[in-house]
Amino acid sequence: MPIDIALTALAMPITELPAIAREAETRGYRTAWVGEASGAEAIVLSTLIATHTETLKIANGVIPVQTRTPIVYGQAAATLAHLAPGRFALG
């Protein structure tokens, strides 16, 4: 059964996210969910996780739509798609 994990800078220092994401990947977790309701910026956190893992999928659970234009969201999603082909979902 696939298992996902929520990674947030509210629960830990940002500097610990890469190691935790790698450990989750090693243990077989399928997706790391990153939100932005409060705390650190979700696209940056997603990029951090993507560049430190190889198979773990990254999905944004909550990103406020009023904080960026659709073009900025599109650029961010396209960039992450290049960094982590087939592993990023903008939500």
Give tens-digit pLDDT for 11-20: 788 999 999 9
Residue 72 lies in a domain: no
What does the pLDDT look like over 35-60, one tens digit per residue?
886 678 999 999 999 999 999 999 99
Q: Does residue 49 fall inside a structural domain? A: yes
Segments forming the whole domain that contains residue 41? 4-65+77-89
Give the DSSP per-residue string, 38-52: SSS-HHHHHHHHHTT
How many independent structural domains does the chain possess? 1
Bridge partners of residue 57, in order along the sequence: 31
Cβ-proximal residues to 29 (8 Å cutoff; 6+ apart), any chain: 3, 4, 5, 56
**pLDDT score, position 65:** 84
Mean pLDDT estimate for the chain: 91
DSSP letter, residue 37: S
Inter-helix orientation angle 42-50/17-26, to 10°: 50
Q: Quick check: is 58 in a domain?
A: yes
**DSSP code, position 5:** E
20 belongs to a structural domain: yes
